[in-house]
Amino acid sequence: MVIEDDVMIGAGSLVPPRKRLESGYLYVGSPVQKVRPLTEKEKEFLPYSARHYVKVAGNYQ
């Protein structure tokens, strides 16, 4: 599987082997399907979200 930059995957979604997720889109479902382009606001939120997940990951190790 290849997940490009700036991709959002919905909770509970299944990304099958050999699937390529194109940059700049929201994917949801089981198996995932491209739903829509990300908004600029969503793209701006991605770096914050990633930092937050890394920060709280230590609470569960």
Query: CA 38, 43, 47: angle at the middle one, nearest 5?
Result: 145
Place of tokens 């739903």: 35
H or E stretch at 26: strand 25-28
Measured CA to CA, the distance from residue 42 to residue 54 in angstroms comes to: 18
Note the pTM of the prediction, 2 decimals. 0.83
Place of tokens 């914050």: 48
The predicted model gives 29-57 an average pLDDT of 95
- The Cα-based distances of 56 to 45, 48, 52, 53 in angstroms read 17, 12, 6, 5
The predicted model gives 31-54 an average pLDDT of 95
Structural domain span for residue 48: 2-60
The predicted model gives 36-41 an average pLDDT of 98
Give the pLDDT confidence score for residue 32 in this predicted structure: 98
Domain count, the chain: 1
